[in-house]
Structure 1
């Protein structure tokens, strides 16, 4: 699903409540009930990863906390465990008009950019005027060890399907200051202890604004490149196909045209090794994944086994849903013995490989930022044993996700926008032995170190090139 479109739609109602105003217990319980009603009528797979009994128990625990007045911020945080329990990285829980990662604070933000790996963190950038040593390891933030900070933040982060965690770490690396302010605190001064070489030092730094973070990010953006691109190395008969997102902007070449031209070149150049780089591709339009796999498949295939929807009738609460879906749901939604399914999707059909489909060795690069449509494509490739995978586990789940189009509603008292994915995608012909909620796990796990990050070294790309070279050398000796 195109995340930009979803976020645009979620701003359709103006905020009517400031986060410092309090809500009565009656208002809070009414919003909790509204939340459950919306979830029950819209979400296609509420209990895919959390059994109903466990979810009901958590719901009761949240309800028990709504026995005294809370601010909008306090209610937002109190409700977060229910969002996390869905284990659905597409779910949206936003304040209208606010940045999704900085919902309550546009100032009082942590002043450094950090890189997290396991239970450690390092300084990789400065948002404020105070300069911290780049590459120094952060030991504590406001007197809390990094491991403690992570134990508080990770359980409140929703960018993950199933039991995956790599997407959460990707989010931390980009938006730590926002998560810290929302779920731990937003002091005007942050106390930081770090170690640089053999020297350990504690400093106090003034908080920064979101404007300062945005300015830093703009200044350090990588040089622009086409989102869909291919490069060739004739000496190793290798092509690297990079797909940064599965949608096209108005000024870009149509994706189908790009694929046709790219694979004609691959065939003409007699490419033996294709590296498909899907890292940090959070998805887009489902049909793009199907189109691309037709150029990679070696035999006819089905992409999706089914697409679940919750119901066919109109909702009992006010909500925004795409007009096109409302017009055609009577034709596209069918009732089966096990519930309702959506039938008008190209991935449900049986497809044959394209004429210029690539038949050589395929290598796929993924990481925690590989999500949604990208994980679906990776799952199809992996299930068909079509490629060697390198990098980190995907942020999306192997067996499918809930995404597609969204229903968007606003809780009446707290004025929080709730965006619920309507389609439950289930991948076809999955391998036996999958662990529930796992992502696509690479054959070669390669995690960037802090030295890789600071030096700009692409560990995974370097490794796959060495692997291709080694395979070619081995082939020559046979």
Structure 2
């Protein structure tokens, strides 16, 4: 007997109707809920059954076969418009969570950090860290919004001293803020020497001068306010340059909202202008003249992108890496490396050093690592092998405290972590789990390597793999390498990274970035909790920032004279 398509549909439809599968049943099954019902409230109010859906599909197929497309549209419109649309009494910004929910998420976060974080006690003793956790937990005595909850736990995460460990907004919070962006901050703020200055004026008051010092915002003195911001920005060890770098890259308004309220918009600023006159202004913002930067509370300047967003495409090659010969000095070549992520990096290095080898006049190489937030550590070591003239060891350990975690269901990157822990780790005598091959010596590149003078340009945005590169090159080629600029944001003796998945707290949806490996560099000395320090420090001034002067490169040419 030959069954037609309509007969098959009728049989399956009858079976599904008899089983009485409803979408409310689907909503209780996690894997099906993600496919069909993104919100449980919507499922209860629609009340559409599986049988109804299959029946609709059958009718659609018949209409398409007969060409009655208009009838199809009418049917769908009558079906989905016949019921009232769900009305949500709250938003992800205003939704509150019970004390029990907050405590549940906090306990999971603490358990994850104490169980799996490789550097939780790297800079602070165990009893101090436990006291921080206990003090924060004691504050969870009343229902809170997600933002209020983050205000409680983020300072604890920051005190760990790990720039790869940070908190991010939930997916629902992020989606809501995309549709309802933050109010634009009235001025672009430059942070310099723990002071705030106006870099650009966004307000309707044209008398505000660029370079004016901001003394207070809505009555909050600038210095205590800045210290509050720093409590929500994680960095390696005791480093401060990374914190100011983050605020200088368009995130000042985001942290103001985090500290002072999600809908806060500075209406009253107290300035000291360039003549020394102090005045307080109240004004409206002017987004039509200067569009606000697209920063939000979920955006952070960290080495990895947030899991709540689709990953942004890599920078274009001409932005990510550049190589050119200096027009001021024919013996100088300049290499700009903005990131160690992306494709084509090794090819770029090879071609650049081949160009240097072909030009016998080049005696000096300037490598600009400012704002390089890291990326692939293997790529950074490849670049180091062009500069170091002897075999060198990069790491003494890349160790995880555990192989398997008890909170695996809440932790991302499951397949990648499974692959690494089962095929690329080995147990050490100390009981940790070391990534294989990471402590082996690295051979220098003999043919095509550069043996001339090298200047490294660094700042607070030199982080993670970029900071590792700067530290290794400085210590292994100290006689030829000079570091110029400001302390790197990444640790000089290592960090916690290699694999950093995201832990989703089940009640609030807040996400914790959790590095799994402790990296210790093979360099002499003791870890003091700071980044790579420059051999030649360069201090910027407000006029230099406003005029766009590059004082670091100017210092290099001054040293070459």
TM-score of the superposition, structure 2-length normalised? Answer: 0.74
Q: Which moved more, 1:456-465 or 1:256-265?
A: 256-265
Which of 222, 229, 243 does residue 146 from structure 1 map onto? 222
Q: 1:216 to 1:414 in 2, by over 3 A?
A: closer
Distance across 1 between alignment mates of 2:179 and 2:430: 42
Residue in 2 that maps onto 1:304: 395
SS in 2 for 1:84: helix
Contact 1:188–1:206 (CA<8 Å) still a contact in 2?
no
Which of 89, 97, 109 does residue 23 from structure 1 map onto? 97
**Structure 1 gaps, min length 5:** 1-11, 470-478
Contact 1:15–1:95 (CA<8 Å) still a contact in 2?
no
Contact 1:276–1:364 (CA<8 Å) still a contact in 2?
yes
Higher Rg: 2
Residue in 2 that maps onto 1:472: none
**Structure 2 gaps, min length 5:** 1-34, 41-90, 297-314
Residue in 2 that maps onto 1:474: none
Q: 1:398 to 1:328 in 2, by over 3 A?
A: closer
Residue in 2 that maps onto 1:3: none
Question: How far 1:117 sits from its partner (Å)?
Answer: 1.1
1:206 and 2:206 equivalent?
no
Contact 1:108–1:208 (CA<8 Å) still a contact in 2?
no
Residue in 1 that maps onto 2:272: 195
Residue in 2 that maps onto 1:52: 126
Superposed CA deviations along residues 271-329 of structure 1, whole A, max 9, x for unmatched, are 21111110000011111111001100021101111101121125334121252331342
Contact 1:366–1:393 (CA<8 Å) still a contact in 2?
yes
Superposed CA deviations along residues 405-440 of structure 1, whole A, max 9, x for unmatched, are 222221121211122112221111x222x4521110
Which of 498, 505, 512 does residue 411 from structure 1 map onto? 505
Distance across 1 between alignment mates of 2:145 and 2:174: 19
Contact 1:109–1:178 (CA<8 Å) still a contact in 2?
no
1:442 and 2:534 equivalent?
yes
Question: How far 1:353 sits from its partner (Å)?
Answer: 1.3
1:263 and 2:342 equivalent?
no
Residue in 1 that maps onto 2:140: 66
Distance across 1 between alignment mates of 2:152 and 2:506: 17
Superposed CA deviations along residues 200-228 of structure 1, whole A, max 9, x for unmatched, are 321113368899423799xxxx9994321
Distance across 1 between alignment mates of 2:120 and 2:294: 39
Contact 2:493–2:527 (CA<8 Å) still a contact in 1?
no
Q: 1:192 to 1:223 in 2, by over 3 A?
A: farther
Structure number with higher strand proportion = 1
Question: How far 1:349 sits from its partner (Å)?
Answer: 2.2
Residue in 1 that maps onto 2:332: 238
Structure number with higher helix proportion = 2
Residue in 2 that maps onto 1:315: 406
Q: 1:139 to 1:255 in 2, by over 3 A?
A: same
1:229 and 2:335 equivalent?
no
Higher relative contact order (CA 8 A, sep 6+): 1
Residue in 1 that maps onto 2:460: 368
SS in 2 for 1:35: helix
1:292 and 2:383 equivalent?
yes
Contact 2:499–2:517 (CA<8 Å) still a contact in 1?
yes
Q: 1:148 to 1:431 in 2, by over 3 A?
A: same
Contact 2:392–2:443 (CA<8 Å) still a contact in 1?
yes
Q: Which moved more, 1:334-343 or 1:113-122?
A: 334-343
Superposed CA deviations along residues 10-46 of structure 1, whole A, max 9, x for unmatched, are xx9x899723222222222111111012223332221
Residue in 2 that maps onto 1:94: 168
1:161 and 2:236 equivalent?
yes
